[in-house]
Structure 1
Amino acid sequence: MMLAVIGLSGTVLLWEDSWILLEGANDAPTSNTAQLAKAIEVAVETAPELSRVTFAGEEIGLHQAIYADGSGAYIAQEGIVVDRWSGIWERPELWLFELHHYLLMGEVGKTITGVLGIILLAFTITGAILWWRTKQTFRFRLWPARYTASAIVRHHRDLGVVASPLLLIAAATGTMMVFPAISSALLSPVTTADPKPELPTDLASVGRSTDWAAVMANAQSAFPSAAARRLMLPPTPEEPIAIRFRQDFEWTPNGRSYAWVAPRTGIVVAKDDPAMGDTASAVVEKFYPIHAAKVGGILWRISMTFAGLALVLLGLFASWSFWTGKFNNRPESILRPAKAAP
């Protein structure tokens, strides 16, 4: 049942750009640093303790501001706040994300989703092995022919084997995102030392004197041809501002290219360019965009939608068959009312 919940929430999230119908959601994104700086200023003025701003992109033409208390805002590219919320329950895309990734249980839920991914891998592999012995009776159906135990088993077996390649990809990429140690172990032969830049911890804090136009312009100079995707304020004072960019070769929508900028001077104090990284880092960067169908166009999105819906059907019918079978197979002595003592 939990796999069905993950499958359904993930499928809906695949199409979130189609059902976020706020004004400006379909606008083409801008790369003008002055306009991006204006959006940051609006986000800072809208509420205290700004945490991050994700800039408008190809999927959604609105900037998303998130604050430390869990509230947030969508800001149009011309600098107008088009929506505000005080918690995730006021925006479906936010609580669906939390449900899919964390099962609404924080880090514990994230661990559970990783374990479920491993279980899905095991179910898919063993199911394909068991199907091979009965392949002569294969008949693809999206829905069981009858609501009997045998028909549901055949439906489960045949639908599962059709969806198995996509389910393996979804389960493997999801699991390795949750448990990076697994991918590190698998990719160790192509891993090389990749030291991260040391960040200063004695800078002036973000404040009214921060020149956001200078911050964005100088950060852009670190990656001149890249698109600015997210600005993250430092979690503790005296640390630099992080700006995340996406270069042309990167698959991840928000990129993995970082520039760190001093809040007062606007000077770039460090950068991390994935073009200089190893093969392992390049592979890991592909997990999320493949898992969430952020690459591959409409065909891959439809394919992952089929995988998600197949997981929902497999999970629901398996649970239904289990519980109804468990109830129907109970001894008659349990189902029959006890006779009164003479």
Structure 2
Amino acid sequence: MKTLDLLHRWIGGLIGLVLAVLGFSGALLVHKDAWVILPHASDAQVQETAAIAATVERIMADPTTRPEMITFAGRNFGLNRLRFANGSGAYTDQAGDLVTRWSSQWERPELWLFDLHHHLFAGDTGETVIGIAAIAGLFFVISGVILWTRTRKTFEFRILPKRVSRPAILRHHRDLGVVAAPLLTLALLTGSILVFRPVAALILGPAAPAQIDASLKPPSHPHVPLAAKHDWRGLIVEARAHFPDAEIRSLSLPRQGSGLITLRMKRPDEWLPNGRTTLWFAADDGRLVKARDASRLSQIVMIYNVLYPLHAAKVGGLSYRLLMTFVGLALSLLGTLSVWSFWFARKSVSGPVPQLAKVQH
């Protein structure tokens, strides 16, 4: 037990701040659709085939200004988001009229906050650090619950410590941690599976990584240039004909040597915000190359596809978002105070307090 306590304290002191950043940024991102305040952001979602086709035609009309990706308005956010190849972006209303534009992510708090939470502003390296932190967080939860059993009779739930002292902070840390443990486990486990394929293999089975990668892989197709004039309306109409019950969620132009236009749709039984029902069209003539129905994916992949919605509170409505907000704030508080108590508060109690000598008169 002493060794477990030592590991818990030292690893927490080293990585607690990363977990605190992830928790706080995650708590904010859960409510992103509510705090991005722009004209038409609260408009009702439009999913009529003709309306979306007209909007796509308008946005993609000029080859010199067309974006590389359109993410269409959702049920909780009424703006289309455009992403351009140079890293800039824009929001339009659902008719295609420009609402706002930015030249880099630093001009939009929801974008750099997303990058912070998913990559720590460090790309693939940051994502790896986040995955390691999530695995370490799972160790904290398990070891913390075990260590809490020694002091369970003194349990007292508090949002904040009673005093800003090391003993009060340690007691608060134990009791808050055990209350948040179930949802912390969910958040950290889903996060680690999404980052690391070996964790997916451990939890979902040895076949999981190969099946997941296959479900994300586009069909083989020769690289062909994107036609200057494209039948965007026909593309939207054909997609809706294949999956009449599905929402049209995003449209992406060919990237990284691909000769395919990618259209993602979300069927009613899918939890992912943008779905995994995908159609690929040849970039030169618009011919449908392949359509992949998410409902026909393997059971392992379907389980994998619900992890992100659970992690990001994209299902369950306001009540579940509030629960995940609590978890994010709890993780932020646990991480911050553990680092403070480990590196700073212990200095004030590291040795005996000397007694003052009596003053001689």
Same fold (TM over 0.5): yes
What residue is the counterpart of 2:114 in the other structure? 97
Decide whether aligned partners of structure 1 residues 59 and 41 sit closer, same or farther in structure 2, where only a CA change above 3 A counts: same
Listed as ranges, the matches of 1:49-68 within 5 Å are 50-68=67-85
Q: Does residue 230 of structure 2 align to residue 230 of structure 1?
A: no
Counterpart among 126, 149, 165 of residue 132 in structure 1: 149
Alignment of 1:287 onto 2:307: yes
Unaligned stretches of 5+ residues in structure 1: 333-342
Native 8 Å contact 2:82 2:89 kept in 1: yes
- Conserved in 1, the CA contact under 8 Å of 2:45 and 2:73? yes
Distance 1:175 1:193 in 2: 17
Partner letter of residue 126 of structure 1? S
Q: 1:181: how far off? A: 2.8
Task: Give yes or no for contact 1:218–1:267 (8 Å, CA) kept in 2.
Answer: no
Separation (CA, whole Å) in 2 of partners of 1:200 and 1:162: 49
For residues 313-335 of structure 1, the C-alpha deviation after alignment (integer angstroms, 9 at most, x for no partner) is 11111111122234435679xxx
8 Å CA contact 1:39–1:75 kept in 2: the answer is no
Q: Equivalent residue for 2:332?
A: 312
CA distance in 2, matches of 1:192, 1:29: 35
1:1-342 mapped onto 2 (5 Å cutoff): 1-44=17-60, 45=62, 48=65, 50-188=67-205, 199-202=219-222, 204-236=224-256, 239-328=259-348
- Report the count of equivalent residues: 332
Task: Work out the percentage of aligned pairs sharing the same amino acid.
Answer: 42
Which sits farther off after the overlay, 156-165 or 40-49? 40-49
- 1:296 is displaced (CA, Å) by 1.0
* Cα deviation, residue 61, structure 1: 0.7
Which runs of at least 4 in structure 1 moved beyond 4 Å after TM superposition? Answer: 189-198, 329-332
- TM-score, with structure 1 as normaliser: 0.91
Change (3 A) 1:275 1:313: same
Which letter does structure 2 place at the counterpart of 1:138?
Answer: F
What is the DSSP-based 3-state SS (H/G/I as helix, E as strand, rest coil) of the residue aligned with 2:100? Answer: strand
Q: Whose relative contact order is higher, 1 or 2, with alpha carbons under 8 Å and at least 6 apart?
A: 2
Would the alpha carbon gap of residues 299 and 104 (structure 1) be closer, same or farther in structure 2, given more than 3 Å must change?
A: same
Contact kept in structure 2, 1:52 and 1:233, CA below 8 Å? yes
What is the deviation of 1:208? Answer: 2.6
SS in 2 for 1:230: strand
Question: RMSD of the alignment, in Å?
Answer: 2.2
Aligned-pair CA distance for 1:239: 1.1
More displaced 10-residue stretch of structure 1: 44-53 or 127-136: 44-53
- Structure 1 residue 16 displacement after superposition: 0.7
Superposed CA deviations along residues 245-283 of structure 1, whole A, max 9, x for unmatched, are 001111001001101112343332101112111110111
Q: Alpha carbons of 1:190 and 1:279: their partners in 2 closer, same or farther (altered >3 Å)?
A: farther
Change (3 A) 1:47 1:329: farther
For 1:237 and 1:36, the matched residues in 2 are separated by 27
The 8 Å contact of residues 206 and 237 in structure 1, kept in 2 or not, is answered as no
Name the CA shift for 1:275/1:190 in 2 (closer, same or farther; >3 Å).
farther
| Contact 2:176 2:330 survives alignment (8 Å) | yes
User: Would the alpha carbon gap of residues 125 and 46 (structure 1) be closer, same or farther in structure 2, given more than 3 Å must change?
Assistant: farther
> Cα distance 1:103–1:238, how it changes in 2: closer, same or farther (>3 A)?
closer
